[in-house]
């Protein structure tokens, strides 16, 4: 996606008197995949992009085509229009990647090659070292919070005890990053994902989120299949991130019932109880109050979804994201974005303004007075 932005293949395009922001032409992208040796031929290129559609990474700009056609049709990355469904599992995975990049980019990193029982391990660190570092870098406020983060990373297969015998503890136990985020990956790896056994055993696969079980030989992972449903492969014992603090040893406790929500719909039903017009919002004495929110995006984004148009409203807010921390709520109406008046715009245009703007987002919203 970033390479396509740099190469100007992703840009605002006009079709039938309408402008579609941040999109690409399918035929041009297939050409690009072949020219940059990401695909050996057009058929493979089409299969690769279909995989991205199946994983809710790209979609047709009007959602009129559920398959990828090698034609002059406009498609867009969901990350560019705010429709990418972020589950808690994906967020933990991206948090792990962000921490890894931060660790390897500094001098005197705690990640080192170390030896235990005559075996050398790459990207290793002591549990207490990681806790110290997380607090020092502001990634955690205290040691308990740092341990909870470490346990979440281990449960998702991002870090691991070097001999896979311990959960994450604030001690001198040796761990390592199980996934090498710096390894250059090629898109063609997506076509090998049908081999679930190979995927689950590969520490370098970026396309699955493993849920590790302390019992030897009993691991499982989530795989987003072509039927667009989340499939749970084998049984798994895990606790949620929030529950870790309330149990002295939750990792080895009896398995709770594990329920995963369905993948987010592309066009969910509006959260508004009734339509609201700009005239109603701006009329003197209207029961609405204006609030200014300053939202600092993290490695995942800002944590909210805008829908509707003229005016747009907040359709969803991630309860653990930056927007919720800033005071954003569902059903608020978007008045301005970074100083630009937007009551007259649709959600695609507002999403484009947000995605192409600075990391620190200043929004004015109008909220109904209870």
* β-bridge partners, 291: 365
Would you say the C-alpha torsion 177, 182, 187, 192 has a positive or negative sign? Answer: negative
**Three-class SS state of 366:** strand
Looking at residue 268, what is its pLDDT? 60
Single residue among 177, 211, 233 that ends a domain in this structure: 177
Q: What angle do CA 42, 209, 96 make, to 5 degrees?
A: 105
Q: Tell me the two tokens of residue 262.
A: 């369905």
Instruction: Determine the structural domain holding residue 171 and report its residue range.
Output: 88-177
Single residue among 114, 147, 177 that ends a domain in this structure: 177
Asked if residue 70 and residue 38 are part of one domain, the reply reads yes
Looking at residue 193, what is its pLDDT? 59
Q: Tell me the two tokens of residue 150.
A: 């470490």
Asked if residue 61 and residue 122 are part of one domain, the reply reads no
Looking at residue 176, what is its pLDDT? 93
Q: Tell me the two tokens of residue 182.
A: 């710096």
Residue 288 lies in a domain: yes
Asked if residue 125 and residue 53 are part of one domain, the reply reads no
Residue 53 lies in a domain: yes
Residue 12 lies in a domain: yes
Burial class (CB in 10 A: 0-12, 13-18, 19+), 47: middle
Task: Check if the beta carbon of residue 76 is closer than 8 Å to that of residue 56.
Answer: no
Burial state string for 3-33 with b = 16 or more CB within 10 A and e = fewer than 16: ebeeeeebeebeeeeeebbbbbbbeebbebb
Asked if residue 58 and residue 104 are part of one domain, the reply reads no
Would you say the C-alpha torsion 226, 231, 233, 234 has a positive or negative sign? Answer: negative
Asked if residue 109 and residue 64 are part of one domain, the reply reads no
Asked if residue 363 and residue 335 are part of one domain, the reply reads yes
Give the count of domains, the chain.
Answer: 3
pLDDT in tens, the chain (370 residues): 888 988 899 999 888 888 889 999 999 999 999 999 889 999 999 999 999 998 888 999 988 888 999 999 999 998 888 888 777 788 888 899 889 988 988 888 999 999 888 888 888 999 999 999 999 999 999 999 999 999 999 998 899 999 888 999 999 999 999 888 877 777 887 787 554 333 333 444 333 333 444 333 333 333 222 333 323 232 222 222 333 333 333 333 333 333 333 333 444 678 898 999 999 998 888 899 999 999 988 767 888 999 988 999 999 888 888 899 899 999 999 999 998 899 999 888 898 888 888 888 999 999 998 7
Single residue among 77, 103, 131 that ends a domain in this structure: 77
- Compute φ and ψ for 148, nearest 5 degrees: -60, -40
Q: Which residue matches tokens 């948090």?
A: 95
* β-bridge partners, 209: 222
- Taking the C-alpha atoms of residue 231 and residue 228, their distance in angstroms, rounded to an integer, is 9
Asked if residue 93 and residue 52 are part of one domain, the reply reads no
Whose CA is closest to 188, among 24, 28, 52? 52
- Taking the C-alpha atoms of residue 308 and residue 270, their distance in angstroms, rounded to an integer, is 8
CATH number of 349's domain:
2.30.42.10
Residue 184 lies in a domain: no
**Three-class SS state of 22:** strand
Looking at residue 211, what is its pLDDT? 40
């Amino acid at each position: 996606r970033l390479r396509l932005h740099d190469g100007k293949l992703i840009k605002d395009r006009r079709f039938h008197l309408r402008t579609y922001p941040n999109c690409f032409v399918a035929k041009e992208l297939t050409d690009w995949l072949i020219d940059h040796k990401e695909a050996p031929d057009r058929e493979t290129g089409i299969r690769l992009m279909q995989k991205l559609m199946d994983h809710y990474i790209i979609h047709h700009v009007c959602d009129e085509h559920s398959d990828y056609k090698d034609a002059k049709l406009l498609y867009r990355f969901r990350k560019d229009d705010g429709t990418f469904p972020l589950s808690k599992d994906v967020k933990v995975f991206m948090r792990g990647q962000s921490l890894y990049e931060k660790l390897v980019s500094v001098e005197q990193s705690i990640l080192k090659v170390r030896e235990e029982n005559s075996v050398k391990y790459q990207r290793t660190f002591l549990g207490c070292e990681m806790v110290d570092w997380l607090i020092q870098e502001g990634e955690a406020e205290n040691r308990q919070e740092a341990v909870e983060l470490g346990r979440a990373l281990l449960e998702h297969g991002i870090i691991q005890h070097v001999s896979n015998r311990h959960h994450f503890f604030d001690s001198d136990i040796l761990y390592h990053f199980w996934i090498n985020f710096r390894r250059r990956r090629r898109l063609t790896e997506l076509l090998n994902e049908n081999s679930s056994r190979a995927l689950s055993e590969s520490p370098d696969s970026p396309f699955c989120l493993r849920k590790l079980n302390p019992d030897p030989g009993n691991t499982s992972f989530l795989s987003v299949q072509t039927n667009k449903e989340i499939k749970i492969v084998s049984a798994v014992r895990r606790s949620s991130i929030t529950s870790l603090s309330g149990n002295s040893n939750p990792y080895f406790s009896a398995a709770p019932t594990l329920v995963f929500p369905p993948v987010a719909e592309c066009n969910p039903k509006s959260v508004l109880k009734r339509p609201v017009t700009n005239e109603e919002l701006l009329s003197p004495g209207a029961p609405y109050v204006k609030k200014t929110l300053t939202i600092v995006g993290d490695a995942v984004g800002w944590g909210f979804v805008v829908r509707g148009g003229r005016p747009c409203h907040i359709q969803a807010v991630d309860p653990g994201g930056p927007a919720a921390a800033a005071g954003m709520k569902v059903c608020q109406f978007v008045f301005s974005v970074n100083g630009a008046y937007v009551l007259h715009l649709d959600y695609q245009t507002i999403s484009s303004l947000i995605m192409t703007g600075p990391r620190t987002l200043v929004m004015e919203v109008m909220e109904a007075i209870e």
